[in-house]
Structure 1
């Protein structure tokens, strides 16, 4: 088992090399090394050590994606076999039905999609299309993201594309530090399922909604395509890579930032603020009532 100092060395190397805001890395390193020298991590087991370092990272740099994670699954530390966590996340998505937990038909011809992860656009596209097919004949749609903990930017763009008529809608841009380049995300011309047009859409959020789930909520809200109902979300807008720094410890390093095409900003640190603020437990009922009123039912 490597020492805490060795893990911190490896983690700081990754942060210094990849963090999307390189000007902040010196302050991050100084703060963590000061804590290490003061003995703040002495006697902590693996999970507690990760929690403590994460709290200190976010204290000096309040980025929700910047953290150490403990994993029970042993990690391959051979650099030649690492893929920044992509393979593991794709496997998780397969095990969780590409993030789609539930599709339901509610009273008043309201469709409900309960989405817990935002899938990869390639592997997850058929499942997303199938879900949209099942709600295609509804009069209004509720997209429940209250338990959505994140996912893929390409998948977020694919979900959003179903709510616009063509490929002419600019969703957002993404600046990547490694390549010093900006990639544009537009609605897709060809989709795996039917488009959902000219009908009301409600997005449910909670204080747990994070990352890719926030992307979908923020984008649809900014473009005026959905009403967000629920709680302000957690506030993580920076796409992230995962690097093993010990057999059971990963460092997550935000390497890019999202720039919304309408607002010019994103939800980092602030979260997505709902249009209708209610507790997460009341969000579904509130959205159903609003949908029925809008439909004149």
Structure 2
């Protein structure tokens, strides 16, 4: 009997301690939402929601940290939908770090880890290919941290620089670093310095501005040759930033589907040993439209199913290239164009 009572006390103590841990986690999450979320009113609404669920005992049924994270995410999304917003299960989560800025790079330890990962992923540059008519095709699956990926971007753009037209495939691109967005865009804008976007951070009352840089290393693609950007419903965040801002200055033609609709830069906050709150702390502002693509996505100039977007953009580019092609190549390219249009 004594052993049974001792075991019962230990179990009760563990449950009580876990409940206290959950309460502390919810309280810290609520504080971070109130203090950091880009819109103060909505941050307060989400904070009140998770505290209310805690009072009702709705988190008692979460037996693992992963289940707890899913519940917290569902509750804050129900209070205010934001595709960038979530709570994630991350074993032994790292402490909070300052948010990135245009001038401040990442800590040395993280830089080393991200560099090794980036090399394995080729810094998200999936393919550079020359198509018929000297049309360059670049498939980019992410905007890797500019601190460590600029050399890869320069190599890709050097290979593309002599093309007569360019297709940039962002259909599988889920975002990344806005500094890399500005860096890659610079190769398409020639020798002019152009204001691309701003990001406003409520908690710091600070605005970071992003401009193209005429002095990027390597060869510019140029400001006048046609560029097509392929999109899908999976195109998200920084990939939308690239597309939206270049579309606003009429530098590109967007081909494909309306994008995912996430315009709020994030910052991770540790709210428990194994839980990270990913909170949107800023909002993007385009200098021309004065708005962004949050919730609505970027609308294509040429709407077509994403699986046909490459063929469509290739046909559009080839038709443009044919205007100035060497007569000896014309029949070959006209045949290729007919094949593309037949495939559509």
TM-score between both structures, scaled by the size of structure 2: 0.79
Match of 2:36?
18
- The aligned counterpart of 1:130 is 155
* Aligned counterparts of 2:307 and 2:60: Cα–Cα separation in 1: 41
Highest RCO, 1 vs 2 (Cα 8 Å, sep ≥ 6):
1
For residues 75 and 264 of structure 1, the distance between their equivalents in structure 2, rounded to whole angstroms, comes to 37
Instruction: Give the match for residue 238 of structure 2.
Output: 212
Partner in structure 2 of residue 155 of structure 1: 180
Match of 1:59 in 2: 78
> Which residue number in structure 2 is paired with residue 36 of structure 1?
54
From 273, 288, 293, the equivalent of 2:299 is 273
Q: Kindly report the root-mean-square deviation, in angstroms, between the aligned alpha carbons of the 2 structures.
A: 2.2
Distance in structure 2 (CA, Å) of the matches to 1:90 and 1:264: 34
Matches of 1:247 and 1:95 in 2, distance apart? 29
Q: CA deviation at 1:294?
A: 1.8
Q: Superposed, which structure 2 residues align to 1:158-169 within 5 Å? A: 158-169=183-194
Query: Which residue is equivalent to 2:279?
Result: 253
Rounded to whole Å, the distance in 1 between the matches of 2:290 and 2:127 is 33
The yes-or-no answer on 1:4 pairing with 2:29 is no
Provide closer, same or farther for how the CA distance between residues 230 and 32 of structure 1 changes in structure 2, counting only shifts above 3 A.
same
For the residues of structure 2 that align with 1:159 and 1:209, how far apart are their CA atoms?
A: 17
Tell me the secondary structure at the aligned position of residue 171 of structure 2.
Answer: coil
The range that moved more, 113-122 or 3-12, is 3-12
**1:182 corresponds to which residue?**
207
1:225 partnered with 2:225: no
1:46 and 2:46 matched: no
CA contact 1:237–1:268 (8 Å) conserved in 2: yes
* Contact residue 125 and residue 192 of structure 1 kept, 8 A: no
Distance 1:84 1:75 in 2: 16
Kindly tell me: are residues 64 and 154 of structure 1, through their superposed partners in 2, closer, same or farther at Cα, counting changes over 3 Å? same
Q: Name the SS of the counterpart of 1:98 in structure 2.
A: helix
Give the total of aligned pairs: 293
Larger helix percent: 2
List gaps (5 residues or longer) in structure 2: 1-16, 101-105, 323-332, 334-344
Counterpart pick for 1:200 among 219, 226, 236: 226
Alpha-carbon deviation of 1:142?
Answer: 0.8
Distance in 1 between residues matched to 2:58 and 2:267, nearest whole Å = 27
Separation in structure 1 between the aligned mates of residue 51 and residue 172 of structure 2, nearest angstrom: 35
